[in-house]
Structure 1
Amino acid sequence: MNEKELKAFLTDWRIATLIILIVLSVIAIYPHFDQDGNIATNLQYGLDLQQGSWIQLELKGEVVGFTTDRPVNDFITNLSQSLDTEVDQIDATHLEIRKAYTQPDLEVQFTNAGGKLTSYQQGVSKATAEDAKMILENKINSLGTKDATVNTLTGFNNVARYIRIEMAGVDMNEAQSLVGKQGKFEIRVQTTGNDTEHVLFGNDITSVQTPAQNPAGSDNWGVAFTLSDAGAAAFQQAAIQSGATNDPTHHYLTMLLDNQTVYSAPLNTALATELKTTPTRQMIASTGTGTYGSQEATNLEIHLRAGALPVDVSIAGSGSTSAPLGERYKVMVLLAGILALITVGCVIYYRYREPSIVLPMVLINASEILILLGFIALIRFQMDLPTIAGLIAVMGTGIDQLVVITDEILHEGKVPSPNLYLKRLARALGIIVVAAATVIIAMVPLALMDLSTLKGFALITILGVLVGVIVTRPAYGKIIMEILSK
């Protein structure tokens, strides 16, 4: 191939696209040596391939069907009082009960409240599960835990019973202390003596600002936060009834997380005056001056952001991977990938006995895996064993499709004319597109279902099929045409 032909070959859109994606993938993966002289990359590994822990939490609640002859609001109010918990209406015939009860116990309570229990499902609504997921993510992120994923396991009936949390680099004891309990956050106000009364829970805090000096430029630190309308009204009512608006210096506000005091200070005088006439949503909790005040403000911000889970939880399952075992899995996965590529090359060589055909097939197959790894590194997707299985599956299906292209072009063992070559290539690509669509349709349910251990496999398989159809198969068609033309 002379210089002109080489330039034309490299500037062909199929080859140029492949080369650009390979270069971008290498940049995204960024192989380099770390401080210890070991090879490192930007790839993120899940619990299967590094030290970490996973916990599966059971959400303590029920979604039940009901009927009643009474006004629904009155029925729900009575039921909430008798059950001593929150009862939310999901739709016209279903309620969510945010406390653990057996079906027989609920049947009695429903009858006493003037209704009838028609169905019973353990768990909570999808919306409540998403709230719990968001709170857990905020708690984990605010505590500086990296490489953590939270997934809700929701059934086809939109009832979620479990949440699975995976935390890389965190041992089991730390993981259980982080997410193994509800984490109830509460604000109370001092009434008389050492007595306090409830004001609001953490779910009435709608936003939290980062620690800042208050006023700006001073040495006094604090955390500003915003209450919901209902929370602001409850705060004003509690301040007035407790007498805090008239004597703020002797009425402390206490913040508790899991019944442990995390903040306590008297009500601000200016705020007390304002609360006499109007509810206030904007609050600032002062934490002191200097380094101590700054650190206390940081800690308080974490507690305010953590909030409270909407329902109680219990640990339904857990597991962990040690650092040596994770490293061993990495080596085994690398060897498995290399062995799979070598095996594929040997089988293809046995079939065609022509290195000029086998080598491009193997290289195209390897480039496809490289592009997928680059995409994984770019979106910081955690690689686990199902993801690796997806990569190997892509490698196998990729070779299958390259064989289809090669056999279609070399029909009857003859090198076709350019026009016939294009017709055969188009026919081969048509077969591949249909096969790819079948694979994607088969994988979509796994990608959409809340089966966290299979999502990686499904997503990588779908992505690999798309990369193959859009990029690597057309590029291989161009490469094999140049080879056969010689």
Structure 2
Amino acid sequence: MNAKEIKRIVADWRVAALLILVVLSVVAIYPHFDDKGNFTTNLQYGLDLQNGAWLQMEFKAEVVGFTTDQPISEFVSNLSKTMDTDVIIVDTANPTHLEIRKYYSRADLEKIFESAGGKVTSYQQGVSKETGELVKKILENKLNSLGTKDTKINIMTGMGNVAQYVRVELAGVDMNQAKALVGKQGKFEIRIQTSGNESEHVLYGDSISSVGNPEKDLQRGGSWGVPFTLNEAGATALQQAAIKYGLTTNPEDHYLIMILDNKTVFNAPMVADAAAKLRSSPNRQWSATTGSGNAGENAAQTLNIHLRAGALPVETTIVGSGAVPAEQGAKNKMVSVIAGILALITVGIVIYYRYREPSIVLPMVLINASEVIILLGFISAIKFQIDLPTIAGLVAVVGTGIDQMVVITDEILHEGRVPSPNLYLKRLGRALMIIIIAAATVIIAMVPLMLFPLTTLQGFALITILGVLVGVIVTRPAYGKIIMEILSK
């Protein structure tokens, strides 16, 4: 092709869109040499491609269906006292299930429920979906605050939205570090403002015996708050400090300050009525108000995590673990690169054997490579970790991409001749329709893998879906334009 023909192809909007995406993807990947002279990129690698560890933990709790003739609140309160643990109503609008945050067998629960005036109708080990999401937020907040950014936390939910397991993947961390990070609890402290910026220590997080879920107080204009309970020693320490520093008589000038790992997470005055009651007796039941609306709700969710100081609301036990040595990760990375290159070379050989025409093979291979670059750029932009299933998805995209371009080429070269422009467009449209239908089938097949908690397959499903969409929207139309110019010669 001469320069004029190449310019005409590049000026076409379909080809131009492809080239722009490739350039943007290269910028997102950002291949460069670091300060030590090592070649690196913005791509983030999972456990399979670098050293790291994973832990799978089981929730030592259960969600049970129940019936009772007693008032629900009274029944739940009695159960909580009897079992000495938190008992949470899963759905307050239709209270038919309870989350018990302590492990009991079904036989033991049936006896306890019967003595409390109720009956167990169903039993599943695990926690509710809401508690599972709370666990995920607590772990994310704790690990991110410790500077561990390359983490993946997945709650594995089964039937009835009951979460039984949580899987934590920590890239660049060995097994001992992983167990220490996941099990470590942050240092939480409550202080009282004395004057100006000065404050005095009142109690630490070990004085908080339980933390409730964020709730809206309709009696106070719909303000959100986080209820929590102090033990006897903590309640007494708070009362004595409040009297000593004048909080009971002038709460507006003596804010309560909550600090997690030397960072202030709550700073507000105590309600006047609650402050006045501290003059006569200590109080164990408290609620930290965070405001109204979405902002207040979000602040309450965050404070709920801080009050727990990184402690999970339910006990967990490790039921599975694994680690990838640094040498194995480097080897997997090298093998993956070689596999990708060999896949492109093999595709080129097979296509050449079929058409015996280099001018057809080269565009196919280049289009295939551009798809991989675009997908890697997207992965880099969203900070998605590349693991072996993700690489398997990239290889699958190479294969399906060639299949679709063969469909386009064969449809155009029907009867072995290059058609007229009008007939060419009709055949190209027919080929693209076949490809779109096939793409829709692939997407439908991959969606369950994206939604179900099969963490090892989500990367494969994501890349496969993205590859299909990039092919249908960008690369197939561009290939149709390029191959038309080539075949017309």
Do they fold alike, i.e. is TM over 0.5?
Answer: yes
Cα deviation code 1:345-385 (max 9, x no counterpart)? 11111111100011111111111111101111111110000
Q: Residue 276 of structure 1 aligns to a residue in which SS?
A: helix
State the partner residue of 1:435: 438
Give percent identity, aligned residues only: 65
State the partner residue of 2:21: 21
Q: Residue 75 of structure 2 aligns to a residue in which SS?
A: helix
The structural deviation recorded for 1:10 is 1.2
Rounded Cα–Cα distance in structure 1 between residues aligned with 2:271 and 2:409? 82
Unpaired segments of 5 or more residues in structure 2?
193-202, 215-223, 247-255, 263-268, 278-285, 291-304
Q: Residue 65 of structure 1 aligns to a residue in which SS?
A: strand
- Is this contact kept in 2: 1:365–1:399, CA < 8 A? yes
Over 3 Å counting, the alpha-carbon distance change for 1:380 and 1:48 in structure 2 is same
Cα deviation code 1:370-405 (max 9, x no counterpart)? 110111111111000000000000000000000000
State the partner residue of 1:200: 208
Rounded Cα–Cα distance in structure 1 between residues aligned with 2:355 and 2:466? 29
Cα deviation code 1:160-207 (max 9, x no counterpart)? 011111111111111101114677968799xxxxx999863574698x
Report which stretch shifted further, 175-184 or 395-404.
175-184
Rounded Cα–Cα distance in structure 2 between residues aligned with 1:317 and 1:254? 39
State the partner residue of 1:32: 32
Matches within 5 A, 1:45-64: 45-64=45-64
- Is this contact kept in 2: 1:135–1:307, CA < 8 A? yes
The partner residue of 1:168 within 160, 171, 179 is: 171
Over 3 Å counting, the alpha-carbon distance change for 1:132 and 1:372 in structure 2 is same
The partner residue of 2:447 within 444, 449, 457 is: 444
The structural deviation recorded for 1:60 is 1.2
Over 3 Å counting, the alpha-carbon distance change for 1:463 and 1:443 in structure 2 is same
- Is this contact kept in 2: 1:203–1:307, CA < 8 A? no
The structural deviation recorded for 1:254 is 13
Q: Residue 99 of structure 1 aligns to a residue in which SS?
A: coil
- Is this contact kept in 2: 1:180–1:313, CA < 8 A? no
AA aligned opposite 1:177: A
State the partner residue of 2:364: 361
Rounded Cα–Cα distance in structure 2 between residues aligned with 1:62 and 1:417? 69
Matches within 5 A, 1:389-428: 389-428=392-431
Matches within 5 A, 1:373-392: 373-392=376-395
The structural deviation recorded for 1:334 is 0.6
- Is this contact kept in 1: 2:185–2:310, CA < 8 A? no
Over 3 Å counting, the alpha-carbon distance change for 1:308 and 1:196 in structure 2 is closer
The structural deviation recorded for 1:310 is 1.1
The structural deviation recorded for 1:143 is 0.8
The structural deviation recorded for 1:232 is 9.6
Rounded Cα–Cα distance in structure 1 between residues aligned with 2:132 and 2:421? 59
1:141 lines up with 2:144 in the alignment = yes
1:472 lines up with 2:469 in the alignment = no
State the partner residue of 2:339: 336
- Is this contact kept in 2: 1:59–1:313, CA < 8 A? yes
The structural deviation recorded for 1:238 is 3.0
1:457 lines up with 2:460 in the alignment = yes
Matches within 5 A, 1:35-434: 35-91=35-91, 92-180=95-183, 200-201=208-209, 203=211, 228=225, 230-231=227-228, 238=235, 242-247=239-244, 276-277=275-276, 281=288, 306-434=309-437
Q: Residue 160 of structure 2 aligns to a residue in which SS?
A: coil
Over 3 Å counting, the alpha-carbon distance change for 1:23 and 1:10 in structure 2 is same
Q: TM-score, normalised by structure 2?
A: 0.80
Report which stretch shifted further, 428-437 or 313-322.
313-322
- Is this contact kept in 2: 1:49–1:330, CA < 8 A? yes
Cα deviation code 1:277-313 (max 9, x no counterpart)? 3889589xxxxxxxxxxxxxxxxxx976844211111
Q: Residue 380 of structure 1 aligns to a residue in which SS?
A: coil
Over 3 Å counting, the alpha-carbon distance change for 1:304 and 1:232 in structure 2 is closer
Over 3 Å counting, the alpha-carbon distance change for 1:460 and 1:241 in structure 2 is closer
The structural deviation recorded for 1:157 is 1.5
Over 3 Å counting, the alpha-carbon distance change for 1:339 and 1:4 in structure 2 is closer
- Is this contact kept in 2: 1:65–1:120, CA < 8 A? yes
- Is this contact kept in 2: 1:56–1:316, CA < 8 A? yes
AA aligned opposite 2:81: Q
AA aligned opposite 2:154: N
Q: Residue 101 of structure 1 aligns to a residue in which SS?
A: coil
Over 3 Å counting, the alpha-carbon distance change for 1:21 and 1:176 in structure 2 is same
- Is this contact kept in 1: 2:211–2:307, CA < 8 A? no
Q: Residue 227 of structure 2 aligns to a residue in which SS?
A: helix
Over 3 Å counting, the alpha-carbon distance change for 1:18 and 1:416 in structure 2 is same
State the partner residue of 1:299: none
Q: Residue 424 of structure 1 aligns to a residue in which SS?
A: helix
Unpaired segments of 5 or more residues in structure 1?
190-194, 207-226, 264-269, 284-301
The structural deviation recorded for 1:243 is 3.9
